[in-house]
Amino acid sequence: MLNVTRYHGDQDKEYVGFATLPNQVHRKTVKKGFTFTLMVAGETGLGKSTLINSLFLTDLYRDRKVPNAEERIGQTVDIIKHTIGIEEKGIKLRLSIIDTPGFGDAVNNTASWKHVEDYIDQQFEQYFRDESGLNRKNIQDNRVHCLLYFISPFGHGLRPIDVECMKALHEKVNIIPLLAKADSLTQAEVYSKKLKMRDEIKQFGINIYQFPECDSDEDEDFKRQEQILKDSIPFAVIGSNIQVDSKGRKFRGRSYPWGVVEVENPIHSDFLMLRNMLVRTHMQDLKDVTREIHYENYRAQCIQNMTRMMVQERKRSNRSATDFLLLSFQLRKMQEVLERIQEQMQQSQTGTC
Ligand code: GDP
């Protein structure tokens, strides 16, 4: 068979129309809408709820009840899911926020991340079941696409719980570490803490989300922006639920006796960089990595376990068939011996008569 692929130059091109393919894909996906699931973890009071509200300009935590110190001593990690629909220029996004109140709050936090890990696994399991079932067309994807992990600004780098938690989850979810409440640190402190945390992440072998490598034909400005993004990890963030009025301008910020902190000012924090990255530039990549790497790992593990179980089951049933044959053989032998004894008894009886 001859397989000819011919590319015409623009001058002698006959128009077929497949150039509209991206438009067709665009129309279809826009109609379907987009989904994204974001998880937040970190101890109570690090500003998780405030940051989520600031990121998506919502008020997700209106009915929230913060437990007191006594309640938190033996607290276990709850998993709470908030879902909101956001629409912008006709594009719909169903955003799910998975909150983990109680994380790192109890006196004994050895298994704080176990609930988080179980939750992520359950979503994979549900997807795996749905995918292998009959109604594959209408699968709801609840897999966790990204975990914003909040690190305290008051410690000296990562705490043991941060290391253990990130290590327990890094094969299952895209982790983006955040340096919380960055307005409580000076610029120099932010810089040195970031450096230390990046070193520790490397030293402890924690695989956080890796920004994709730029293609060589990408323009220089794009490459520079991507490098800045990589060098900013962990993003130093500030959140606020209130609008500040200062010098005739209104903005989300925090007002102190000595001045005002603007949440969206790139000089004050990496908040804008985080939001742009999450929403504008890397949302699809976070979903792709979840599907192609984390979910694939889970799926491969599942199939491996199932195959192992089937082999064991088959071995067991083979073994029971052999046991049955052996038993029948022994029974037959015993029967023969019995018959022979009976015959002998009969013979000896007729001999004595
Ligand atoms: P969560 O328990 O982690 O959800 O923390 P919250 O969002 O409820 O915030 C706890 C407290 O920290 C509240 O008083 C917030 O106003 C405050 N807070 C939140 N974000 C920041 C921040 O970026 N900087 C500072 N200084 N305080 C913050």
CATH number at residue 232: 3.40.50.300
Q: Report the nearest atom of ligand 1 relative to the CA of 184.
A: 26
Q: Contacts from 99-103 at CB under 8 Å and sequence distance 24+?
A: 99/39, 99/40, 99/48, 99/49, 100/39, 100/40, 100/41, 101/44, 101/67, 101/77, 102/44, 102/67, 102/72, 102/75, 102/76, 102/77, 102/78, 103/41, 103/42, 103/43, 103/44, 103/77
Mean pLDDT is highest, among 39-53, 63-77, 173-187, 306-320, for: 173-187
Q: Give the residue-averaged pLDDT of 286-294.
A: 95
Is residue 67 pLDDT above 80, yes or no? no
The token duo for 316 is: 């067991």
The response to whether residue 67 sits with its C-beta less than 6 Å from ligand 1 reads no
**How many angstroms is it from 45 CA to the middle of ligand 1?**
6
**How many angstroms is it from 201 CA to the middle of ligand 1?**
25
**How many angstroms is it from 44 CA to the middle of ligand 1?**
9
User: Which pLDDT score, from 0 to 100, does residue 77 have?
Assistant: 58
The response to whether residue 46 sits with its C-beta less than 6 Å from ligand 1 reads yes
**How many angstroms is it from 239 CA to the middle of ligand 1?**
7
Amino acid residing at 188 = A
The response to whether residue 179 sits with its C-beta less than 6 Å from ligand 1 reads no
Q: Give the residue-averaged pLDDT of 216-229.
A: 84
Let me know: does 131 contact 140? Beta carbons within 8 Å: no
**How many angstroms is it from 219 CA to the middle of ligand 1?**
39
How far apart CA 217 and CA 172 sit, in angstroms, is: 32
In this structure, of 75-84, 209-218, 230-239, the range with the lowest mean pLDDT score is 75-84
pLDDT top residue among 350 and 257: 257
Helix/strand/coil for 41: strand
How many domains does the chain fold into? 1
Closest among 176, 141, 172, 171 to 37, alpha carbons compared: 141
Q: How high does pLDDT run on average in the chain?
A: 84
Closest among 230, 294, 227 to 37, alpha carbons compared: 294
Q: Report the nearest atom of ligand 1 relative to the CA of 150.
A: 3
Confirm whether 330 is domain-assigned.
no
| Ligand 1 atom 25 nearest Cα | 181
| Ligand 1 atom 10 nearest Cα | 45
Amino acid residing at 20 = T
**How many angstroms is it from 211 CA to the middle of ligand 1?**
28
- The range of the structural domain enclosing residue 223 comes to 26-283
| Ligand 1 atom 24 nearest Cα | 181
In this structure, of 251-265, 295-309, 310-324, the range with the lowest mean pLDDT score is 310-324
The pLDDT-based confidence of 267 (bands split at 50, 70, 90) is: very high
The pLDDT-based confidence of 353 (bands split at 50, 70, 90) is: very low
User: Which pLDDT score, from 0 to 100, does residue 131 have?
Assistant: 85
How far apart CA 326 and CA 324 sit, in angstroms, is: 5
Confirm whether 35 is domain-assigned.
yes
Confirm whether 54 is domain-assigned.
yes
**How many angstroms is it from 292 CA to the middle of ligand 1?**
35
Q: Give the residue-averaged pLDDT of 223-231.
A: 88
The response to whether residue 47 sits with its C-beta less than 6 Å from ligand 1 reads yes
User: Per residue in 262-288, is it b (16+ CB within 10 Å) or e — as a string?
Assistant: bbeeeebbbbbbbbebbbeebbebbbe
The response to whether residue 252 sits with its C-beta less than 6 Å from ligand 1 reads no
148: part of which helix (H) or strand (E)?
strand 146-151
Confirm whether 30 is domain-assigned.
yes
The pLDDT-based confidence of 325 (bands split at 50, 70, 90) is: confident
C-alpha pair distances (Å), 7 with each of 4, 13, 23, 182, 305: 10, 9, 22, 55, 48
pTM of the model: 0.81
Mutate to test the pocket of ligand 1, among 44, 50, 52, 272 (most ligand atoms within 8 A of CB): 50
**How many angstroms is it from 195 CA to the middle of ligand 1?**
24
Confirm whether 290 is domain-assigned.
no
The pLDDT-based confidence of 148 (bands split at 50, 70, 90) is: very high
Confirm whether 150 is domain-assigned.
yes
Confirm whether 8 is domain-assigned.
no
User: Which pLDDT score, from 0 to 100, does residue 294 have?
Assistant: 96
In the chain, the percentage of residues whose pLDDT exceeds 70 is 86
Closest among 101, 38, 103 to 64, alpha carbons compared: 101
User: Which pLDDT score, from 0 to 100, does residue 351 have?
Assistant: 59
The token duo for 60 is: 């997700």
Confirm whether 340 is domain-assigned.
no
